[in-house]
Amino acid sequence: MAKIAVIKTGGKQYRVQEGEVVKIEKLDKKINDKVSFDTLLVAEADGQNVNIGTPSLGEKVTGEIVGEGKADKVTVVKYKNKTRYKRTLGHRQPFLEVKITSIA
């Protein structure tokens, strides 16, 4: 039976399975490096054998970095009426693609 897990990284939580590719916040790692994640919950896919951490179960999920990139551009416009003030700027958030290799 396949396992699912909830991991925590970059201030966010992700639901993952083995073999899944997840886009996470940028880490100081290179492509093909191994990375382990703080695990909050591990369960079977059908909902049986649920293990919930208080607050975590440790590093039970491991993955391999397969790519990196930047997300789509988000445009921010600042405008003030009647004062000839307008500013436009954009931001592209960097991310890593991680393939989940094992859930213990």
Please state the pTM of the whole predicted model: 0.83
The set of residues, in sequence order, having a beta carbon less than 8 Å from that of 47 and lying 6+ positions away, is: none
Whose CA is closest to 74, among 99, 96, 50, 93? 93
- pLDDT at residue 86, rounded to an integer: 97
**Is the model's pLDDT at 104 over the cut of 90?**
no
Domain count, the chain: 1
Parent domain of 63: 3-103
pLDDT at 47: 85
